[in-house]
Amino acid sequence: MKLLRPAIILIGLLAIWQVVVSLSGAPPYILPGPWAVAQAWSQRPELFLHHGTITMAEILLGLIFGLGLGVTSALIMAYFRPARQWLMPVLVVSQAVPVFALAPVLVLWVGYGMASKVVMATLIIYFPVTAAFHDGLRRTEPGWLELARTMNGSRWAILRHVRIPAALPALGSGLRVATAVAPIGAIVGEWVGSSSGLGYLMLHANARMQIDVMFAALATLSLLAVTLYFSVDSAVRHAIKWQPDSHSNEP
């Protein structure tokens, strides 16, 4: 039953897509219909799987580095006041500067290999994770902090035993947001210059007027992104089992 709803949504979206194509009379080299795209996929599934694996690897590595860097930065900022004053503007800039602007510079500097895509994905993930976790660390329930202080906890002990566990739900939220935007970083990196990956495949197919292949690559990317999101969401919920979910009693 749980799978039925997403399946219905998917079929509904496909139907709307087909209707839009039929009604607007859009030619296949601008907007192919879902059937044409499905055919393009089934003709060469290994192509999409190959490039999909590469892009997925870039996203996952970006998530790991982004998470690591973000958690570390948030902890440093929460613990050392001067660190917060110096790092916060950097953090904001990292989010404000559009990834598109940074990408070419980054690629020229780091090269056209996987590294530049991983760096791009990391950059895009860094802000949501850091901001969310730092916020969580700062906004700990005062009652818990006071209790720990009356128990003579050191500043470090309070960080470790009170602030960090209390901030995990916030980190979870940040991680969810980051997972949703991570694919953007990897794809933009590939668009700037690459020799493999779904973004590369989209560019290539577009230039050769194989718009159905381009859309099939896009569909593969969407599927990967959605799967990744729900996996991370499930992992977060499992890790933070104690976080009361206000909807847990609904069917």
Partner 1 sequence: MTNFRTFFTCLLLIAITMIGQPAQAAEKMTVLLDWFVNPDHAPLIIAREKGYFAAAGLDVELTAPADPNDPPKLVAAGKADIAVSYQPQLHVQVEAGLPLVRIGTLVATPLNSLVVLKDGPIKTIADLKGKKVGYSIGGFEDAVLGKMLEGAGLSLKDVTLINVNFSLSPSIISGQVDAVIGAFRNFELNQMDIVGKPGRAFYPEEQGVPSYDELILIANKARLNDSRLPRFLSAVEKATQYLVNHPQESWKLFASAYKDLDDELNKRAWAATLPRFALRPAALDKGRYERFAVFLKEQKLIKSIPALDTYAIELP
Partner 2 sequence: MNETTVTPPIPIGLSVRHARLAWHEQVLFDGLDLELKAGQWTCLLGPSGVGKSMLLRLILGLDGSQENSETINCSDGLQLNGRVAFMAQQDFLFPWLNVLDNVLLGSRIRNAVGNRDKAMQLLAATGLADVSEAMPDTLSGGMRQRAALARTLMEDRPVVLMDEPFSALDVISRIKLQELAAELLNCRTVLLVTHDPLEALRLGHSIHVMTGRPATLGAAIVPDKLPPRPVDDSGVLEHQGELLRQLAEAAP
**Interface positions with partner 2 (CB under 8 A):** 141, 143-144, 146-153, 157-158, 161-162, 165-166, 168, 240, 242-244
* Residue 177 identity (one-letter amino acid): V
Q: Which is nearer to partner 1, 154 or 195 (CB)?
A: 195
Q: How many residues belong to the site for partner 1 (CB under 8 A)?
A: 25
Structure tokens at 26: 């859009």
| 17: helix, strand or coil | helix
Residues within window 89-128 making contact with partner 1, judged by CB under 8 A: 104, 107-108, 111-112
CB of 140 to partner 2, least distance (A): 11
Decide which of partner 2, partner 1, none touches 158; Cβ closer than 5 to 8 Å per partner kind.
Answer: partner 2
Dihedral pair phi/psi, residue 247, rounded to 5°: -105, 10
- Residue 124's closest CA among 168, 74, 39, 65? 65
Count Cα atoms within 13 angstroms, Cβ side, for 69: 18
Residues within window 141-200 making contact with partner 1, judged by CB under 8 A: 191-195, 200
Dihedral pair phi/psi, residue 2, rounded to 5°: -65, -30
Structure tokens at 249: 């009693």
Residues within window 29-48 making contact with partner 1, judged by CB under 8 A: 29-30
Q: Which is nearer to partner 1, 94 or 196 (CB)?
A: 196
Which spans of this chain sit near partner 1 (rule: CB under 8 A)?
26-30, 104, 107-108, 111-112, 191-195, 200, 203-211
